Chain A
């Protein structure tokens, strides 16, 4: 996987000085000078990195800046010491778990699996003795239904079950469903917990074919959405180049009313023009997921059905007609003005404290300033 839109941040710049945990007694001039010089470095770095990275809007970002968002349907794998009855753990046995997803839209299923290994990675025989899933509810409210999960062992030794909330008593449950899997391994009884967050209804339905257009500042992929519940929809999609290399993460975060609406996922034009090397065209939009945000409420979302795999292959085969302008907005101007004020104030404080000091260049071309 070689992100092509932007290089990964350079390693290891520490724009803060060492954190002084205990001040030396008195007003030591060298300590004060170090503080002020640190403030100059920090404010300079803050300004320059913001200036550089906001050439593109928050909704259209280089893939390299979102390394753990590029393959949202990859399973979650964890490995922890075996937790045994009584709350203790057995560090000699590691329990490796996998769940295919964390959030479940209405109608979706999740696969859960586990196995045990020793410190050398050798499989330790394990037997699932009981597995039950139950919705988690607030204290003092009526308990949610409980369903039994059917774990079975595969050839490789993993124990696996598929859980479909909509197929049983938890179909209408909204929130965290905890699966408690009890097992025996290495002569002891153990337990592992899997959590998924289930949405019992779809707030909107994907409808119709995705469209593409070249907008004023971006390549726009528009997905029609039939909105049943109005509100703020948060949607994200991944954009690969023609070679399957992740290029960008596009996101949408807007209020939508009821009825047929359009979710626009954009690739900012300048992001395409700046990429070195240039992305192989056509681009491909894939793995779109999203939800209706329910502010100040728990659970905080109702999920849309996820669209796994390719959703749209772009028809744009050349950047000739794609705009090449930096993102401009009130927010960007406001932040740059504020960060510039901070930078100027820090420089003035240092210069006032030590008139003989040489201030670093105010430009943003020094290495490391734009990470």
Chain B
């Protein structure tokens, strides 16, 4: 009998093989805050939590090299149905995470990025293309969904709602 897991040394009980790391083929990220959130900058959340501290944009971006994915692709999905905190979040947002973060945009600070059509704000571009204004994405990060219809917010609501639902849809398609 085996639980198909590796022990603390990475050795699989059944086969004797050694698991030396995670085997990730690719990653799909719904509304990911890899570049932090301005809500953390503003102290909008309980700040004694380490996770919240880490979400300050300058901290989230300095913590690790986001370009280093060991050549595994991160497919990013960015929602834009944000209203409640738009006064704190630059550009388009899903009510918690702004496009610079959910879109995987490189740099040591956040910036304002929007859907096409907003003349006052640079566009977040799809794929790996540099954004309008010249900002670039982290390597191995590709924006596969931008919420041009402003239909999806940050929240799953326990029922795959928000931009999480878009990722679920894509996962189902891939699994079929």
CA distance A67 to B141 in the complex (A): 13
List the A side residues contacting B50 at CB < 8 Å: 138, 176, 298-299
Asked if A44 is at the interface (CB within 8 A of a chain B CB), the reply is: no
Which residues of chain B (135-176) have a CB below 8 Å from chain A?
136, 138-139, 142, 144-145, 165-166, 169-170, 173-174, 176
B67 and A65 contacting across the interface, CB-CB below 8 Å: yes
Shortest C-beta distance, B160 to chain A (Å), equals 12
Asked if B3 is at the interface (CB within 8 A of a chain A CB), the reply is: no
Shortest C-beta distance, A95 to chain B (Å), equals 11
A13 and B59 contacting across the interface, CB-CB below 8 Å: no
B88 and A46 contacting across the interface, CB-CB below 8 Å: no
List the A side residues contacting B70 at CB < 8 Å: 58, 331
CA distance A334 to B21 in the complex (A): 12
Asked if A83 is at the interface (CB within 8 A of a chain B CB), the reply is: yes
Shortest C-beta distance, A105 to chain B (Å), equals 13
B42 and A83 contacting across the interface, CB-CB below 8 Å: yes
B126 and A12 contacting across the interface, CB-CB below 8 Å: yes
Question: Known contacts A67-B106, A89-B88; is A195 also within 8 Å of B139 by CB?
Answer: no
Asked if A102 is at the interface (CB within 8 A of a chain B CB), the reply is: yes
Shortest C-beta distance, B169 to chain A (Å), equals 6
A16 and B25 contacting across the interface, CB-CB below 8 Å: no
Shortest C-beta distance, A162 to chain B (Å), equals 17
A99 and B128 contacting across the interface, CB-CB below 8 Å: no
Contact with A along B2-42 (1 / 0, CB 8 A): 00000000000000000011010110000000000010011
B107 and A80 contacting across the interface, CB-CB below 8 Å: no
A53 and B71 contacting across the interface, CB-CB below 8 Å: yes
A35 and B176 contacting across the interface, CB-CB below 8 Å: yes
Shortest C-beta distance, B168 to chain A (Å), equals 10
Asked if B43 is at the interface (CB within 8 A of a chain A CB), the reply is: yes
A58 and B71 contacting across the interface, CB-CB below 8 Å: yes
Q: Which of A14, A54, A371 contacts B126 (CB 8 A)?
A: A14
CA distance A338 to B72 in the complex (A): 13
- Contact-residue size bin, chain B (C-beta under 8 Å from the other chain): 35 or more
CA distance A99 to B109 in the complex (A): 11
Question: Known contacts A14-B127, A49-B73, A78-B109; is A195 also within 8 Å of B56 by CB?
Answer: yes
Shortest C-beta distance, B77 to chain A (Å), equals 8
B41 and A13 contacting across the interface, CB-CB below 8 Å: no
A16 and B144 contacting across the interface, CB-CB below 8 Å: yes
Q: Which of A68, A87, A197 contacts B107 (CB 8 A)?
A: A68
CA distance A8 to B139 in the complex (A): 9
List the A side residues contacting B71 at CB < 8 Å: 49-50, 53-54, 58, 335
B59 and A58 contacting across the interface, CB-CB below 8 Å: no
Asked if A255 is at the interface (CB within 8 A of a chain B CB), the reply is: no
List the B side residues contacting A339 at CB < 8 Å: 25
CA distance A42 to B88 in the complex (A): 36
Q: Is the interface of B mostly helix, strand, loop or mixed?
A: loop
Chain A residue with Cβ nearest B152: A21
CA distance A50 to B140 in the complex (A): 10
Chain B residue with Cβ nearest A66: B67
B129 and A12 contacting across the interface, CB-CB below 8 Å: yes
Question: Known contacts A13-B128, A136-B48; is A78 also within 8 Å of B57 by CB?
Answer: yes
Question: Known contacts A65-B67, A99-B58, A371-B128; is A80 also within 8 Å of B90 by CB?
Answer: yes
List the A side residues contacting B107 at CB < 8 Å: 68
Which residues of chain A (170-213) have a CB below 8 Å from chain B?
176, 178, 193, 195, 197
A58 and B129 contacting across the interface, CB-CB below 8 Å: no
B25 and A76 contacting across the interface, CB-CB below 8 Å: no
Asked if B83 is at the interface (CB within 8 A of a chain A CB), the reply is: no
Asked if B130 is at the interface (CB within 8 A of a chain A CB), the reply is: yes
A178 and B47 contacting across the interface, CB-CB below 8 Å: yes
Asked if A333 is at the interface (CB within 8 A of a chain B CB), the reply is: no
Shortest C-beta distance, B132 to chain A (Å), equals 12
Asked if A348 is at the interface (CB within 8 A of a chain B CB), the reply is: no
CA distance A61 to B69 in the complex (A): 12
CA distance A103 to B64 in the complex (A): 11
21 contacts between A and B (CB under 8 A): A10-B128, A11-B128, A12-B126, A16-B170, A39-B174, A66-B65, A66-B67, A68-B61, A68-B138, A69-B67, A76-B58, A81-B88, A89-B42, A102-B62, A103-B62, A136-B48, A193-B41, A195-B56, A195-B58, A197-B59, A371-B128
Interchain residue pairs A-B with the least CB separation, the first 6:
A102-B62, A12-B129, A11-B129, A68-B106, A65-B139, A298-B50
B residues within 8 Å of A by Cβ?
20-21, 23, 25-26, 38, 41-44, 46-50, 53, 56-59, 61-62, 65-68, 70-71, 73, 75, 77, 87-88, 90, 106-110, 125-130, 136, 138-139, 142, 144-145, 165-166, 169-170, 173-174, 176
